[in-house]
Structure 1
Amino acid sequence: MITFNETPPKGTVRDWLDQQAEARGERIAYRFTDGAADLSWANLRDIARARAQGLTALGMAKGESLAVMMPNGRAALETLFAGLYGGFRVTMINLAAGNDAITYAFEHCEARFACVGAEQQAQFAATCPDGLRPMPDDLDLDAQVPLHPLSSGDDALLMYTSGTTGRPKGVVHSHSSLLAGGWTTARAHALSEHDCGYCVLPICHINGLCVSVMGCLISGGQLLLAPKFSNSRFWSDIEAGSVTWFSVVPTIISHVLHSTQDPSDAAKAKLRFGRSASSALAPEVQTAFETRFGVPIVETMGMTETAAQMLSNPLAPATRKIGSPGIAIGNQVTILRSDLSEASHNEQGEIAIRGPNVMKEYLKNPDETRASFTPDGWLRSGDLGHKDEEGYVFVTGRLKELIIKGGENIAPREVDEALYAHADVVEAAAFAQPCTTYGERVVAAVTLCAGSSVTAPDLIDICTRRLGAFKAPDTVYILEDLPKGPSGKIQRKKLADMMSST
């Protein structure tokens, strides 16, 4: 029987899928809310092997990019594992990235073949460069050809960052770091073969792929995969799937909190915890969610470059600190001063990580790769924060998102949390706008729950009382929706650009 412990997983995704298939056979591994048939470990291994052999017979070389342009579902999952099993560099295309970014990813990764979903055919036609063609319908699934030999350091995954400050960067993960991404999750949350996760985040994003899909592969449990998040189906899916944990983002937690639906006792019967990642979770939202639903939320933090998780709050009875994404589990995290020396406890600096889950490189970008690491191997996250005496990290914001008003640094998160203190605020994001007096001024945008009568002056007043007049926003825009990336993370830069053009 496969087990995992404090040692990072060895081998390749092929090795782990083979071992899980041998150990667990016809036990169900992945289930789907859209009605697709379940996948057992043995079934998934057989499908992955047959398709990997078909791709090899097609002439695909080891480490060659295989583009995947598909939504969450059984077909996407089978394609992901087929590519990993065959030794190809699976290149997940962000369906919400926009045509320019998708075309860039296609060209940059130099893929010759793309696996395209039925509903993505038109978008593929609009973004497909010369030399890239869809996977043939007649792929030989009976090809008896030897697969490429694999080792843990070989390329496994290519995933592009959002590119909010320039061209998207192609993050390359090896089999080793990809497996370690699932392992850090499984270890932090004590996942076992008896657990069933619930994935509503896109697996073209690192959270859905590593936390949920790879976490299931490492733990040998089950995963219930939804096409996307649905507020109306959230609790019913959890009940029907006997879900024990879920991984979402703060905006989803807030939307569930502000819905009129409550989970049944059956839905909560096996649910151990919910997991929050991708951006900071406001303490007021976390506390309100836990109070209303009786479900603990474990706040975490991760990056595409770290195969998702780099920090996590531990489970009870260990200490869980509200407002912190937790401690390093399975890797090391430190705080760096501007001269790259290690900061003292409670001293603010840049959060940096070192461990088995850290990326291999940025594809075809050695300068950016070198610049992202310190000389002694720490990956610089670009996030500001401090670490307390017990090792818990507190994040204050992104270096590139700081609002510099009159020479003083204001972290947007401070303003976000003040806005979330009002019970009617569903989404909130503060950002900078140019100012002739102070250089930059504080501005924010929110969405409100249905029927709310709260006004912008009301929200400014709350921020003034909590933060002082200097940090309070000059303007609060009340919008129907805030721009978000594929994982549900609010995009401040896009919001700032939208508001500057109004």
Structure 2
Amino acid sequence: MLDRLDRALRTAPHLPAVLGTGPGGAVRTRATRGDLADLADRYAAGLLARGVHRGGTVGVAVRPGPRALAVLLAADRIGARVAVLDPAAGPEVLRARLALARPDLVVADALAQAAAGRGRALAERAGIVLPDLADLGTVATVGPQWPGCAPALAAGHAPLPRREEGDGDAVIVFTSGTTARPRAVVHTRSSLAAGMTAVADLVRPTPGVPVLGGTLFVLVPSLTAGAPVALPARSSRALARQVRRLAPQATYLTPPQLRAALDRGARFTGRVWTGSAPASAELLTRVRAAGAVEAWGVYALTELFPAAAVEQADKAAFGGTGDLVGHPLPGVSATVSAEGELVLSGPAARHRYLGAAPDPRVATGDRAALDRGRIVLAGRLKDMVLRRAENIYPGLYEPALHVPGVELALLVGVPAADGDERLVAVVQPARGASPAAVRAALGGVLDRMGSARPDAVLLGDIPLSGRSRKPDRAATAELAAAHRPRPAR
């Protein structure tokens, strides 16, 4: 798929690739297809000049968009793989991920570097907290350079090698594990291509008609088909205005983005797709009522994207127990283990977890049942909390909550009124510890948690269970739901 995209960009270089809005909200071209191809070539030459070669690893701390896509194309061009470094994960977690991936070079934009340097305050307001620049290793800058940024990823003089043939590692995406033992998904070129082909077959983009969405699984199939893309606006007001002016054929937004746009009176065109978090029948129905021709919920995992999809009419008509997420997509096999866990496999499944042996089966951690071949979810077996379309794994962050004066600490998810989850830190002070002192000690830790910063902190005794008297997560979540904990300021 990346090869196809590279050829497609060069076939019609004058056509728009990335759209934006100009003065008065007029739609304008931010980058042509030729611009994107040229950028990928310059980045490929720059990677070679900085010592990254076939089989190497490029860490990428770049916000989603054309530059991130160009880095992926550049790495693919020279036979290297990309390790996605989420700047919002927090410094301790990111250090551990860097130690596992061991990138030859970290490519970062100015905002990511600001989080690791003199612009930390600005970046923290954007939810980005990185380690110090020295901890990132060798860094190169893409995009505009701010004062204090690393040198630019400048083009070198060496000719680009012949394109890599055959399969091989394409991308590493971190998903879970403790701070000391991060867990990462490794996709090969073939599994990445299978997932993107599945998206293209599901959506069937029409050439020349705009698509609204910002992830690689939107950008690559859309641009390959000849459809220009626009990145979703950050504010809900601007997003609603953007949907109206673009009139996209397909819109990809997370459920929180959809709810925010709908609250601003957004009117949709074409088909709307949502995923990365549970999408209720009520939400999809609101989208249809706001003008969408179809509204789809997509069930996907980092390990296998996409896995299943369901349209609003089918979801609204489902009268069974659980969350209907639809039929497995072509090529995806779904089974349920004896323990009730959904297990998936197929060409788009990840090759392995980094450091582990290849495994064709993806144990999802979701309880599920099959209803006439359709997947119906019945809750999560894992401890993961899903908030604002982001996976938050408590084991990554709980150790840091054990500051002086804290005896036990858990992070739990509590259902919110809008169908999302709130993240609550339940902290049990040690006997005799001052609650005010505990809250003060937690302040710095919470500031370093990035996108996993809890919505609220509850001080109290954590329920225990079993002969070993382990902390009871389910009971702790019920305790948090029954109280109104103080916001984590």
The TM-score normalised by the length of structure 2 is 0.69
> In the superposition, relative to structure 1, how do residues 25 and 37 fare at CA in structure 2: closer, same or farther (>3 Å)?
closer
> In the superposition, relative to structure 1, how do residues 117 and 432 fare at CA in structure 2: closer, same or farther (>3 Å)?
closer
2:362 — aligned with what?
379
Q: Deviations for 1:8-43, whole angstroms, at most 9, x for unmatched residues?
A: x5xxx2x21332034333222223469996222233
> In the superposition, relative to structure 1, how do residues 241 and 287 fare at CA in structure 2: closer, same or farther (>3 Å)?
closer
1:62 aligns with 2:96: no
Given that residues 114 and 134 in structure 1 are in contact (C-alpha distance below 8 angstroms), is that contact kept between their aligned partners in structure 2?
yes
Q: Deviations for 1:171-202, whole angstroms, at most 9, x for unmatched residues?
A: 221222222222111211222324432125xx
Q: Structure 1 CA distance, aligned partners of 2:43 and 2:481?
A: 57
SS at match of 1:51: helix
Q: Give the counterpart letter for 2:349 in structure 1.
A: V
1:326 — aligned with what?
326
Q: Give the counterpart letter for 1:325 in structure 2.
A: V
1:219 aligns with 2:253: no
Task: Give the one of 15, 19, 23 matched to 1:31.
Answer: 19
Task: Give the one of 305, 308, 325 matched to 1:311.
Answer: 308
Given that residues 61 and 107 in structure 2 are in contact (C-alpha distance below 8 angstroms), is that contact kept between their aligned partners in structure 1?
yes
1:87 — aligned with what?
79
> In the superposition, relative to structure 1, how do residues 20 and 444 fare at CA in structure 2: closer, same or farther (>3 Å)?
farther
1:298 — aligned with what?
296
> In the superposition, relative to structure 1, how do residues 122 and 194 fare at CA in structure 2: closer, same or farther (>3 Å)?
closer
Given that residues 367 and 381 in structure 2 are in contact (C-alpha distance below 8 angstroms), is that contact kept between their aligned partners in structure 1?
yes
> In the superposition, relative to structure 1, how do residues 72 and 477 fare at CA in structure 2: closer, same or farther (>3 Å)?
same
Given that residues 87 and 148 in structure 1 are in contact (C-alpha distance below 8 angstroms), is that contact kept between their aligned partners in structure 2?
no
Given that residues 246 and 274 in structure 1 are in contact (C-alpha distance below 8 angstroms), is that contact kept between their aligned partners in structure 2?
yes
Task: Give the one of 91, 102, 117 matched to 1:99.
Answer: 91
Q: Structure 2 CA distance, aligned partners of 1:102 and 1:114?
A: 12
Q: Which moved more, 1:162-171 or 1:67-76?
A: 162-171
Task: Give 1:70 deviation, angstroms.
Answer: 1.9
Task: Give 1:435 deviation, angstroms.
Answer: 4.2
1:209 — aligned with what?
216
Given that residues 102 and 127 in structure 1 are in contact (C-alpha distance below 8 angstroms), is that contact kept between their aligned partners in structure 2?
no
1:352 — aligned with what?
343
> In the superposition, relative to structure 1, how do residues 244 and 321 fare at CA in structure 2: closer, same or farther (>3 Å)?
farther
1:282 — aligned with what?
280
> In the superposition, relative to structure 1, how do residues 382 and 239 fare at CA in structure 2: closer, same or farther (>3 Å)?
same
Q: Structure 1 CA distance, aligned partners of 2:87 and 2:280?
A: 28
SS at match of 1:251: helix
1:272 — aligned with what?
270
Q: Structure 2 CA distance, aligned partners of 1:104 and 1:437?
A: 31
Q: Structure 2 CA distance, aligned partners of 1:162 and 1:170?
A: 7
Given that residues 160 and 168 in structure 1 are in contact (C-alpha distance below 8 angstroms), is that contact kept between their aligned partners in structure 2?
yes
Q: Deviations for 1:402-444, whole angstroms, at most 9, x for unmatched residues?
A: 99xxxxxxxx99x95xx65xxxx46445999854699643746
Task: Give the one of 241, 266, 273 matched to 1:236.
Answer: 241
SS at match of 2:325: coil
1:248 — aligned with what?
253
Q: Structure 1 CA distance, aligned partners of 2:349 and 2:17?
A: 26
Given that residues 96 and 179 in structure 2 are in contact (C-alpha distance below 8 angstroms), is that contact kept between their aligned partners in structure 1?
no
1:396 — aligned with what?
378
Q: Structure 2 CA distance, aligned partners of 1:325 and 1:335?
A: 14
Q: Structure 2 CA distance, aligned partners of 1:310 and 1:362?
A: 18
Task: Give 1:117 deviation, angstroms.
Answer: 1.4
Q: Which moved more, 1:32-41 or 1:100-109?
A: 32-41
> In the superposition, relative to structure 1, how do residues 248 and 131 fare at CA in structure 2: closer, same or farther (>3 Å)?
closer
Task: Give the one of 30, 33, 51 matched to 1:41.
Answer: 33
> In the superposition, relative to structure 1, how do residues 443 and 248 fare at CA in structure 2: closer, same or farther (>3 Å)?
same
SS at match of 1:192: coil
Q: Structure 1 CA distance, aligned partners of 2:326 and 2:242?
A: 28
Count of residues in Structure 1 that have an aligned counterpart in Structure 2: 392
Q: Give the counterpart letter for 2:38 in structure 1.
A: D
Q: Deviations for 1:73-123, whole angstroms, at most 9, x for unmatched residues?
A: 443333333223332212221111001111122222111322221122243
Given that residues 16 and 29 in structure 2 are in contact (C-alpha distance below 8 angstroms), is that contact kept between their aligned partners in structure 1?
no
1:263 aligns with 2:266: yes
Structure number with higher strand proportion:
2
Given that residues 105 and 137 in structure 2 are in contact (C-alpha distance below 8 angstroms), is that contact kept between their aligned partners in structure 1?
yes
Q: Which moved more, 1:430-439 or 1:293-302?
A: 430-439
> In the superposition, relative to structure 1, how do residues 437 and 69 fare at CA in structure 2: closer, same or farther (>3 Å)?
closer
Given that residues 366 and 379 in structure 2 are in contact (C-alpha distance below 8 angstroms), is that contact kept between their aligned partners in structure 1?
yes
Given that residues 114 and 133 in structure 1 are in contact (C-alpha distance below 8 angstroms), is that contact kept between their aligned partners in structure 2?
yes
SS at match of 1:400: coil
Given that residues 60 and 83 in structure 2 are in contact (C-alpha distance below 8 angstroms), is that contact kept between their aligned partners in structure 1?
yes
SS at match of 1:281: coil
Task: Give 1:164 deviation, angstroms.
Answer: 6.7
Q: Give the counterpart letter for 2:91 in structure 1.
A: N
Given that residues 49 and 156 in structure 2 are in contact (C-alpha distance below 8 angstroms), is that contact kept between their aligned partners in structure 1?
no
Given that residues 195 and 243 in structure 1 are in contact (C-alpha distance below 8 angstroms), is that contact kept between their aligned partners in structure 2?
yes
> In the superposition, relative to structure 1, how do residues 256 and 295 fare at CA in structure 2: closer, same or farther (>3 Å)?
farther
Given that residues 290 and 297 in structure 1 are in contact (C-alpha distance below 8 angstroms), is that contact kept between their aligned partners in structure 2?
yes
Q: Structure 2 CA distance, aligned partners of 1:184 and 1:47?
A: 27
Task: Give 1:385 deviation, angstroms.
Answer: 0.8
Q: Deviations for 1:246-270, whole angstroms, at most 9, x for unmatched residues?
A: 222222233334x2x2235xxx3xx
Q: Deviations for 1:234-293, whole angstroms, at most 9, x for unmatched residues?
A: 121122333222222222233334x2x2235xxx3xx21221212222333333443355
1:158 — aligned with what?
172
Instruction: Identify unmatched segments of 5+ residues in structure 2.
Output: 118-130, 141-149, 386-411, 427-461, 467-471
Q: Give the counterpart letter for 2:37 in structure 1.
A: R
Q: Structure 2 CA distance, aligned partners of 1:176 and 1:232?
A: 39
Q: Structure 2 CA distance, aligned partners of 1:91 and 1:33?
A: 31
Given that residues 289 and 295 in structure 1 are in contact (C-alpha distance below 8 angstroms), is that contact kept between their aligned partners in structure 2?
no
Q: Structure 1 CA distance, aligned partners of 2:168 and 2:21?
A: 33
What percentage of residue pairs aligned between the two structures are identical?
20
Q: Structure 2 CA distance, aligned partners of 1:275 and 1:311?
A: 12
RMSD over aligned Cα atoms: 3.7
Instruction: Identify unmatched segments of 5+ residues in structure 1.
Output: 1-8, 201-207, 340-348, 404-411, 446-472, 481-497
> In the superposition, relative to structure 1, how do residues 229 and 392 fare at CA in structure 2: closer, same or farther (>3 Å)?
farther
2:147 — aligned with what?
none
Task: Give 1:209 deviation, angstroms.
Answer: 2.2
Q: Structure 2 CA distance, aligned partners of 1:67 and 1:382?
A: 28
Task: Give 1:302 deviation, angstroms.
Answer: 0.8
